[in-house]
């Protein structure tokens, strides 16, 4: 019985060290958020555009059924984010800071059609 406990303890210690030894991508973070319509409800299928602060277009994605979106594995720095859906657009959200190992959350509001 003592031998089994000792082996189990060593195995747990080895697994814990192994998890900590897995390399994590350096300098990467996430921008996540939600798109809301003028009625305050989540907008599914909205197109999100993410740009580096200096204006280069990096990525686009669409919101899920709850109006949520994610851009993962982004290098640390500043980004601009905007949403569009059926001719409506949100404001540009400038200077969204992405920090290493962190998630930055934003809420984008679509303007009503004129």
Give the predicted TM-score (pTM) of the model: 0.73
Instruction: Give me the pLDDT at residue 26, please.
Output: 61
Instruction: Give me the pLDDT at residue 54, please.
Output: 80
Complete domains list, the chain, with CATH:
28-109 (2.60.40.10)
pLDDT > 50? residue 108? yes
State the SS3 of the chain. Answer: CHHHHHHHHHHHHHHHHHHHHCCCCCCEEEEEEEEECCCCCECCCCEEEEEECCCCEEEEEECCCCCEEEEEEEECEEEEEEEEECCEEECCEEEEEECCCCEEEEEEEECCCC
Q: What percent of the chain has pLDDT over 90?
A: 68
pLDDT > 60? residue 105? yes
Give the tens place of pLDDT for each residue, 34-88.
999 999 999 999 999 999 988 777 799 999 999 999 999 999 999 999 999 999 9
């Amino acid at each position: 019985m003592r031998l089994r406990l000792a082996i189990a303890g060593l195995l747990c210690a080895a697994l814990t060290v192994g998890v900590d030894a897995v390399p994590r991508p350096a300098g990467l973070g996430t921008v996540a958020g939600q798109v809301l319509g003028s009625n305050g409800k989540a907008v599914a299928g909205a197109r999100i555009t993410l740009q580096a602060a200096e204006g280069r277009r990096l990525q686009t994605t669409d919101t899920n059924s709850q109006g949520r979106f994610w851009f993962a594995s982004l290098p640390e720095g500043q980004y601009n984010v905007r949403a569009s859906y059926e001719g409506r657009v949100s404001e540009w959200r400038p200077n969204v800071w992405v920090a290493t190992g962190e998630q930055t959350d934003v809420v984008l509001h679509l303007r009503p059609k004129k």
